[in-house]
């Protein structure tokens, strides 16, 4: 079970890195969030029923952790037996979102609430509306409406 889990984390660590960069401006916070997400994934691994794609499940856990579960405390105790060593998977890419997107767009994105950020992240990652809906627990039509509202808000911020 552990070997399969490590393989999944290695194959999909880019997703975790994107989530960390979306919600953290400091590298240390992004690294802490990365570890917290991996811990939450490990806790959820036995209950993953494989009815959805691994990436969909991983996005859901990662975004939920970033939105609700992450506390910037550096003294969080490890609560379960997780024998993952840092040399078993490579570190998340060092670049942050401000390296990938124009500074103006990054500033506009930072004005969004946490849920809208997660929706935008999935949209920018070219996820179909059906998968976004599954990850975030929305209807497909609601995803479209929310994305259009976010686009309008970002346009208003960028082009006052």
Q: Which domains does the chain possess?
A: 2-78+95-158 (1.20.140)
Distances 103 to 18, 74, 96, 99, 108 between C-alpha atoms, Å: 17, 29, 11, 8, 9
- Residue 98, token pair as written in the block: 């401000």
User: With 80 as the cut, is the pLDDT of residue 100 above it?
Assistant: no
**Separation of alpha carbons 18 and 37, rounded Å:** 12
Average per-residue pLDDT in the chain?
A: 80
Mean pLDDT on 140-154: 94
Residues 6+ apart with CB under 8 A from 121: 18, 19, 22, 63
pLDDT band at 103 (very low <50, low <70, confident <90, very high): confident
What's the pLDDT tens digit per position in 28-61? 888 888 999 999 999 998 888 888 888 889 999 9
pTM: predicted TM-score of the whole model, two decimal places: 0.66
pLDDT exceeds cutoff 90 at 3? no
In tens, the pLDDT along 74-90 reads: 444 444 554 555 455 45
């Amino acid at each position: 079970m552990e070997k399969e889990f490590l393989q999944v984390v290695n194959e999909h660590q880019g997703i975790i890195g994107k989530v960390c960069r979306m919600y953290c401006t400091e590298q240390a916070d992004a690294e802490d969030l990365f570890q917290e997400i991996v811990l939450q994934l490990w806790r959820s691994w036995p209950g993953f029923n494989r009815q959805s794609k691994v990436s969909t499940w991983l996005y859901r856990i990662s975004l939920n952790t970033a939105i609700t579960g992450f506390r910037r405390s550096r003294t969080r105790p490890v609560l379960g037996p997780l024998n993952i060593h840092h040399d078993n998977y490579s570190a998340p890419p060092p670049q942050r979102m401000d390296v990938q997107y124009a500074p103006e767009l990054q500033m506009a994105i930072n004005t969004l609430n946490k849920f809208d950020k997660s929706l935008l992240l999935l949209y920018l990652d070219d996820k179909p509306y059906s998968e976004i809906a599954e990850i975030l627990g929305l209807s497909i039509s609601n995803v479209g409406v929310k994305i259009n509202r976010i686009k309008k808000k970002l346009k208003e911020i960028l082009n006052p």
